[in-house]
Amino acid sequence: MSRRIKSRRVCKLPEVKAFVPVPAREEKLPVVLTVDEYEAVRLIDKEGFSQEVCGMYMQVARTTVQRIYNNARKKMADSLVEGRPLRIEGGDFWVCGEED
């Protein structure tokens, strides 16, 4: 039996939910970045937090943040290098200020 996935805390939802290469010469399958992966990238790369501090904000372990962040970077690299659209959606998260 696998472990239950713990929901991650997200305090800022993305304003832009999709990025498309220009020009789009052919239709390619989009890369899907989850909202919690977006939040890890935002906190670490935009806000300059360490993975440990990011984990405190998202209320998960540093090792979980490391895995989420590495997955997100791989997906973003795939999108950029392969010219694939990038969508931000889904994931197991809850938004700051919302009741359980």
Residue linked to tokens 């909202």: 35
Structure tokens that stand for 59 in this block = 């209320």
pLDDT at 99: 54
Tell if the pTM clears 0.85, that is, is over it. yes
Cα(58)–Cα(20) distance, integer angstroms: 28
Residue linked to tokens 């490391």: 66
pLDDT per residue of the chain (100 residues) written in tens, 0 to 9? 666 777 899 999 999 999 999 887 778 999 999 999 999 999 999 999 999 999 999 999 999 999 999 999 999 999 999 999 999 999 999 998 865 4
The CATH number of the domain covering residues in 28-90:
1.10.10
Going from the C-alpha of 22 to that of each of 27, 58, 73, 75, 83, the distances in angstroms are 12, 33, 21, 18, 9
